[in-house]
Amino acid sequence: MIDLHTHSLLSDGELLPSELARRAEEKGYLVMAITDHVDASNFEFVIPSIIKACKAINNSMKIKVIPGCEITHVPPQDIKELATLCRKLGAKIIVVHGETPVEPVKSGTNHAALGSDIDILAHPGVLSEQDAKTAAERNIAVEISTRKGHCLGNGNVVRLWLKYNFPVVLNTDTHSPENLIEIGFAKKVLLCAGVEESRLKIIFETSRNIARKFFPEI
């Protein structure tokens, strides 16, 4: 299992990064990105803290962790600049909190995110045709989510993926221990979203290829 969107208590998660990693390791995870929520108020604190935690984890556990962040509820016009600042600070995986149907995310967030230096657009809700084309052109991954509520947009993501062939990843958006999953459940979520069984490997391999940028041995 490779999961590129999780949260620790450095934002609104329940666990220390080390406990989050250990619990994921016990579930069979190979790689995890810790992507705590950031905006202009906290990115300068959160990202260095995640980097420090990831270094310690990678030196002491079998699981490999990637430092990142999730730009969350930031006005669309500010996303591009903040993504650049987060990258300069050392975030290796930059996620943007997309226009999920269960939160009042500002309209235009998906579009602004896909025009920025990011890696993953999370739970985008009703992703538009134009934004789907942009994701494909810019090779930005779009998330299928296992998280309650955010998963309501999964079918739309799959429909557009089949049409435009942008990269797709499955993530948990973990905030608490029970959000961590095993590979069998991951497959069920994808099948329920409309992914054919013959295509499951493509999605898992996309996550693996992203992880290999940082850990070639995976």
Q: For position 53, what pLDDT does the model report?
A: 98
Q: For position 128, what pLDDT does the model report?
A: 98
Phi, psi of 140 (to 5 degrees): -100, 130
Q: For position 106, what pLDDT does the model report?
A: 98
In this prediction the pTM is: 0.98
Closest CA to 3 of 14, 79, 16, 23: 23
Q: For position 179, what pLDDT does the model report?
A: 98
- In what helix (H) or strand (E) does residue 111 lie, and over which residues does it extend? helix 109-114
> How confident is residue 16, by pLDDT bands cut at 50, 70 and 90?
very high
Q: What average pLDDT is seen over the chain?
A: 98
The 10 Å Cβ neighbour count of residue 196 is 11
Domains and CATH numbers, the chain: 2-212 (3.20.20.140)
> How confident is residue 127, by pLDDT bands cut at 50, 70 and 90?
very high
Closest CA to 43 of 98, 93, 85: 85
Q: For position 7, what pLDDT does the model report?
A: 98
Coil/strand/helix, residue 5 = strand
Dist CA 146 CA 102 (whole Å): 14
Q: For position 60, what pLDDT does the model report?
A: 97
